[in-house]
């Protein structure tokens, strides 16, 4: 049975009403809805319902599970868990400041919101030459180590949907601007367990990131610096230290608040 419609408005537009009907169905289901359910509940032809769902998926308003083919609300509707985020920030503060002091480089905590990277904590390097974002600053997933490591666990269709929604602008000659090349990069991230930005977001910049487990939202830790301050041969040591902090945070997050 289709969701009960509200009193018709004199400004009602049939296509918009149909989109809202589809989104209401998806929103009301915790398990996800099938294409058949959408056609049955809305009365739309299968081909029409599929077209609506495809466009909504491309814009990240819904996402389709590759295994079950069920549709759920996508990243565009997934607001961060504010309580969980504040707890994560509180637990991370002292550990990240110590890591910043140990490395002498900028250390960041970021999370994924609406298909974009948001910097939640930034502890800047004390050096005169440094690479640092601002707290609250948003970045795209295709050119950042944090973006790569946080979406590496997502399915291909979900990643392509994010890229289609936000684009892949070229910031430097090293920026990855092809979706297939980006997906290949994510495969390497999954294999080695960390992500890198090699002058892809800013010329002369290098960033290394690891994902956090046990968080209410996708989150990660990173170290960023001019590439002269973070040589490639020091990356394994930085990854080891980031991973140590990430595991400690995961353990703390798993304990009662």
Residue 152: per-residue pLDDT = 95
Which long-range contacts link 165-170 to residues 24+ away (Cβ below 8 Å)? 165/58, 165/59, 165/60, 165/76, 165/115, 166/115, 166/116, 166/140, 166/141, 167/140, 168/140, 168/142, 168/143, 169/140
Residues 86 and 194 in one domain: yes
Is 2 among the domain residues? no
Residue 149: CATH number of its domain: 3.30.450.40
Residues 61 and 101 in one domain: no
Residues 43 and 151 in one domain: no
Residues 40 and 60 in one domain: yes
Is 9 among the domain residues? no
How many domains does the chain fold into? 2
**Residue with the two structure tokens 């009960």:** 4
Residue 5: per-residue pLDDT = 46
Is 4 among the domain residues? no
Residues 30 and 53 in one domain: yes
- End position of a domain, from candidates 75, 93, 126: 75
Residue 16: per-residue pLDDT = 83
Indicate the Cα dihedral angle 127, 130, 136, 137, nearest 10°. Answer: 170
- End position of a domain, from candidates 75, 92, 113: 75
Residues 26 and 87 in one domain: no
Residue 31: CATH number of its domain: 1.10.10.10
Residue 181: per-residue pLDDT = 97
Residue 185: per-residue pLDDT = 97
Nearest alpha carbon to residue 238 among 230, 229, 227, 246: 230
Which token pair is 188?
């390497």
Q: Any residues with CB less than 8 A from the CB of 214 and at least 6 apart, and which?
A: 249, 250, 253, 254
Is 1 among the domain residues? no
Is 3 among the domain residues? no
Residues 53 and 147 in one domain: no
Is 40 among the domain residues? yes
Distance of CA 254 to the CA centre of its chain: 21
Note whether 183 and 159 are within 8 A (CB).
yes
pLDDT in tens, the chain (257 residues): 444 444 455 555 788 888 888 888 887 776 788 999 999 988 899 999 999 888 888 777 888 887 788 888 776 666 556 667 888 899 999 999 999 999 999 999 999 988 899 999 999 998 877 787 888 899 999 999 999 999 999 888 889 988 988 899 999 999 999 999 999 999 999 999 999 999 999 999 999 999 998 777 889 999 999 999 999 999 999 999 999 999 999 988 887 76
> Which domain covers residue 56, as residue numbers?
14-75
Residues 90 and 169 in one domain: yes
Residues 199 and 159 in one domain: yes
Residues 246 and 221 in one domain: yes
Residue 21: per-residue pLDDT = 86
Residues 109 and 202 in one domain: yes
Residue 165: per-residue pLDDT = 84
Query: What 8-state DSSP symbol labels residue 252?
Result: H
Is 26 among the domain residues? yes
Residues 108 and 177 in one domain: yes
Residue 84: per-residue pLDDT = 77
**Angle ∠(172,58,34) on CA atoms, nearest 5:** 150
- End position of a domain, from candidates 26, 53, 75: 75
Residue 193: per-residue pLDDT = 95
Is 35 among the domain residues? yes
10 Å CB burial of residue 183 (0-12, 13-18, 19+) is middle
């Amino acid at each position: 049975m289709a969701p009960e419609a509200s009193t018709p408005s004199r400004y009602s537009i049939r296509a918009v009403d149909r989109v809202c009907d589809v989104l209401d169905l998806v929103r009301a289901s915790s398990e996800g809805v099938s294409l058949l359910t959408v056609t049955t509940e809305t009365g739309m032809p299968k081909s029409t319902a599929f077209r609506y769902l495809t466009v909504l998926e491309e814009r990240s308003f819904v996402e389709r599970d590759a295994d079950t083919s069920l549709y759920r609300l996508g990243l565009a509707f997934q607001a961060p868990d504010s309580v969980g985020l504040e707890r994560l920030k509180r637990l991370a503060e002292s550990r990240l400041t110590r890591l910043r002091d140990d490395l002498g480089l900028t250390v960041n905590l970021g999370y994924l919101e609406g298909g974009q990277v948001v910097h939640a904590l930034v502890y800047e390097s004390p050096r005169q030459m440094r690479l640092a974002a601002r707290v609250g600053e948003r970045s795209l997933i295709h050119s950042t180590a944090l973006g790569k490591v946080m979406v590496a666990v997502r399915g291909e269709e979900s990643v392509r949907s994010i890229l289609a929604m936000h684009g892949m602008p070229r910031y430097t000659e090293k920026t990855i601007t092809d979706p297939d090349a980006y997906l290949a990069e994510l495969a390497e991230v999954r294999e080695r367990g960390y992500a890198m930005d090699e002058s892809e977001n800013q010329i002369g910049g290098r960033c290394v990131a690891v994902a956090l487990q046990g968080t209410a939202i996708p989150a990660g830790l990173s170290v960023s610096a001019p590439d002269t301050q973070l040589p490639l041969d020091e990356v394994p040591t930085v990854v080891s230290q980031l991973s140590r902090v990430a595991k400690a945070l995961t353990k703390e997050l798993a304990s009662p608040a």
